[in-house]
A and B are shown apart, each in its own frame.
Chain A
Amino acid sequence: MYKLRQQFLAGPYLIWIVGFILLPLLMIVYYAFTGSDGSFTLEYIAAAFTSETNRRSIALSLELGLICTLICLVLAYPVAMILNGMHLKNQGFVVFLFMLPMWMNFMLRILAWKLLLSKNGVINSVLASLGLGRVSIINTPAAVVLGMVYDFLPFMLLPIYNAMTRIRTDWIEAAKDLGAGSVTIFFRIIVPLTASGIISGIVMVFVPSLTSFAISQVLGGGHVLLIGNVIEQNFMQGAQWNAGSGLSFVLMIFVIASMAVFGMIDRDGEGTAIW
């Protein structure tokens, strides 16, 4: 009886999930596999690979996603090591550092980058006044990657930092005692013991960067067409719901497949909970 009442408390959330997540998902699947007349067709799924635009945007999304993930990993790992090495008494401070950027709306922050990077923006004004010429990275893939890294870096940093705090100093000392130098300790002890954090970080950065469309829209200025932008155009501009759903479905498969791959590597199962 008590158990039943507890389950009842989960009701509102259940309704939320079914109404706003499960049903829309099913609708996407339905539209993905039907034509405009409502009959079954694989045309829109196949379009993801046959259409030149779609192929290119998928390839570009994967490429930028991977580059962004790699940059985040390379940037976050040393930072996590340094933060961990500081042995801060107040771990809340570290969490505060991670949360700080999230206090400001992410669209605002991306728009700020647009202003900074634009042809007559702050960066170029400063460079010009120093007589160093101008850089024009706005509306290029590089600007999009910059925006992504800027936005997703905390998602890489936090899980790696977490994994690192769980490494006991006596493991490091034991390794030293057994003759290991710093390089051996890094590759044989620290990296394997933070593997679950690295994998979580990769998933948490790669998936949103793969599916993002707002950053590429603002910083790419319509020149960088990611898969997310193509989907957005299908829905918002052309009202081609079937084509948009088809692409969304393919993207979803990509996301699930990548999480499954990482889930298999991550033996502890801490990183990707869904698998």
Chain B
Amino acid sequence: MSKHLIEFTDISKSYDGSLVLDELNLYIRENEFLTLLGPSGCGKTTTLRLLGGFETPDKGRIHFDGADITDLPANERKLNTVFQKYSLFPHMSIAENIAFGLKIRKKSKSYIEDKIKYALKLVNLDGFERRSVDSLSGGQQQRIAIARAIVKEPKVLLLDEPLGALDLKLRQNMQYELMRLKEELGITFVYVTHDQEEALMMSDTIVVMNQGYIQQIGTPEMIYNEPENAFVADFIGHSNILDGTMLEDRLVEILGVRLPCVDEGFGQNRPVDVVIRPEDVELVSPAEGCMEGTVTSLIFKGVHYELDVMANGYEWLVHTTKHIPEGTKVGILVTPFNIQIMRKPESSDEKAVEVDV
């Protein structure tokens, strides 16, 4: 897990004068499942296309396995891509599609046949060799696209929102399938998605991007529990993000109320962003809370209720299993451990965090 397989150094890329990536630096370790996560236009797909060889950077170098591949054409790179729209060749059968890359390498007929069988088994579509592309469902087509990409035994598999066009149930199944595949193949996956749940579930490492800048790199747990800035907090699940002032170590003021917290080292009277997850907001009787509010909306979400609570001029998002009707007066309580304090962005590249999603 330690070797750096891929390295992006100072990569910049712009289209028609608008900057998509600005001085991006990123390394990808061998055998890790790395996800580039962010809203559309954040540069995640461009990053993947640069790696796949479909774009060349304006500036910077890309290294793969120690070699500079920045100017290497796509067909000479030792990695394969699974495209968002499956991209199976419509004039070829399933077997011909899978064999395409192997025939270019001039592999023997028996080798190719074995590989097709193996790949179809791996994606649970045994016996589909003779079928035409049109006769397959979206999920099946995506499995074939994966089979076609892995028969060439790439060191890295690039996946560009591969589940984006599938319905929810199928998408969830495919997420488990992909994780199993990753285990069986033992290769590096670089995955692009805008779906934070997908990213949290599958990845070893998540790279959160916005406006061409990396916002945070970390494990799913780190990204979720300790977002580094307001953008990450907002993008990874719904959150209450408030302007606050760090009065001193372990004491923050939000909405005119002083709350104890566990963060230190921000200095005194510093403006900060405060993140409180909706599931971390406890609703108690008005007298017991640190501030008083009124329930303004109640939506049943299955596992929990989603409530809006108006308190001290801020509409709190609250997840609770209790049914609390609209109009009820409640008290809001947050334990110090669940208050996440983040520095306000200062430099220009950090301003990207302020963009609304």
Tally B residues with Cβ within 8 Å of A.
24
By secondary structure, the B interface counts as loop
Write the nearest CB–CB distance from B62 to chain A, whole angstroms.
16
1/0 contact string of A164-204 vs chain B (CB within 8 Å): 00001011011111111100100011001101000000000
Which of B10-18, B75-83, B262-270, B348-356 binds A?
Answer: B75-83
Is there contact, CB below 8 Å, between B85 and A170?
yes
A241 smallest CB distance to B (angstroms):
49
Which one, B85, B90, B91, B101, contacts A178 given CB within 8 A?
B101
Which residues does chain A contribute within 8 Å of B80, judged by CB atoms?
177-178
Q: Is the CB of B91 within 8 A of A177?
A: no
Q: Which residues of A contact B76 (CB under 8 A)?
A: 179
Known: A181-B75, A184-B104. A176 touches B89 (CB 8 A): no
Q: What chain A residues lie within 8 Å of B75 (beta carbons)? A: 176-181
CA distance A184 to B103 in the complex (A): 11
Known contacts: A168-B85, A170-B83, A170-B85. The answer to whether A178 contacts B104 by CB under 8 A is yes
The one of B74, B85, B90, B105 that contacts A177, using a Cβ cutoff of 8 Å: B74
- Is B305's beta carbon under 8 Å from chain A? no
Q: Is the CB of A173 within 8 A of B104?
A: no
Residues on B with beta carbons closer than 8 Å to the beta carbon of A176: 53-54, 73-75
> B274 to chain A: closest CB distance in Å?
44
Residues of the B chain whose Cβ atoms lie less than 8 Å from the Cβ of A192: 91
Q: Which residue of B lies closest to A170 (CB)?
A: B87
Complex partner residue of B89 from A175, A181, A184, A195, CB under 8 angstroms:
A175
Closest B residue, CB atoms, query A193: B91
Contacts of B81 in A (CB 8 A): 173-174, 177
* Per-residue interface assignment for chain B, residues 103 to 127, with 1 indicating a CB less than 8 Å from any chain A CB and 0 otherwise: 0110000000000000000000000
Query: How many angstroms from the CA of A220 to the CA of B83 in the assembled complex?
Result: 56
CB contacts (< 8 Å) of A179 on chain B: these are 75-76, 101, 104-105, 152
Instruction: Assess whether B143 is interfacial by the CB under 8 Å rule.
Output: no
A-chain residues with CB within 8 Å of residue B88 when the two chains form the complex: 174
Closest CB in chain A relative to B92 CB, distance in Å: 8
Residues of the A chain whose Cβ atoms lie less than 8 Å from the Cβ of B105: 179
Which chain A residues lie closer than 8 Å to B244 at the CB level?
Answer: none
* A188 contacts across to B, CB distance below 8 A: 100
In the assembled complex, the CB of B18 is this many whole angstroms from the nearest CB of chain A, namely 18
B148 close to chain A: CB less than 8 A: yes
Residues 234-258 of chain B, each 1 if its beta carbon lies under 8 Å from chain A, else 0: 0000000000000000000000000
Residue of B nearest to A184 (CB): B104
Q: Are A180 and B54 in contact (CB under 8 A)?
A: no
Bound form: Cα–Cα A178–B103 in Å: 10
Measured between beta carbons, the chain B residues less than 8 angstroms from A168 are 85, 87
Interface residues of B in 141-162 (CB under 8 A from A): 148-149, 152
Contacts of B89 in A (CB 8 A): 171, 174-175, 189
B90 touches A193 (CB 8 A): yes
Q: Which of A170, A171, A174 has the most CB of B within 10 A?
A: A174
A235 to chain B, nearest CB (A): 46
A177→B89 CA distance, assembly (Å): 13
Q: Within 8 Å CB of B152, what residues of A?
A: 178-179
Cα separation A7 to B219 with both chains bound (whole Å): 69
Q: Which residues of B contact A178 (CB under 8 A)?
A: 75, 80, 100-101, 104, 148-149, 152
Contacts A189-B89, A192-B91, A193-B91 given; does A174 touch B83 at CB 8 Å: yes
Task: Write 15 A-B pairs (CB below 8 A) sorted by A numbering.
Answer: A168-B87, A170-B85, A171-B89, A173-B54, A173-B83, A174-B83, A176-B75, A177-B52, A178-B104, A179-B76, A180-B75, A180-B104, A189-B89, A193-B90, A193-B91
Closest 6 CB pairs of A and B: A178-B101, A174-B87, A176-B74, A170-B87, A179-B104, A177-B81
State the B residues within 8 Å of A (CB).
52-54, 73-76, 80-81, 83-85, 87-91, 100-101, 104-105, 148-149, 152
- A residues apposed to B, CB below 8 Å: 168, 170-171, 173-181, 184, 188-189, 192-193, 195
Give 18 new A-B contacts, CB below 8 A, not counting A173-B54, A175-B100, A180-B101.
A170-B84, A173-B52, A173-B83, A174-B88, A175-B89, A176-B54, A177-B52, A177-B53, A177-B75, A177-B80, A177-B81, A178-B75, A178-B104, A179-B75, A179-B76, A184-B104, A188-B100, A193-B90
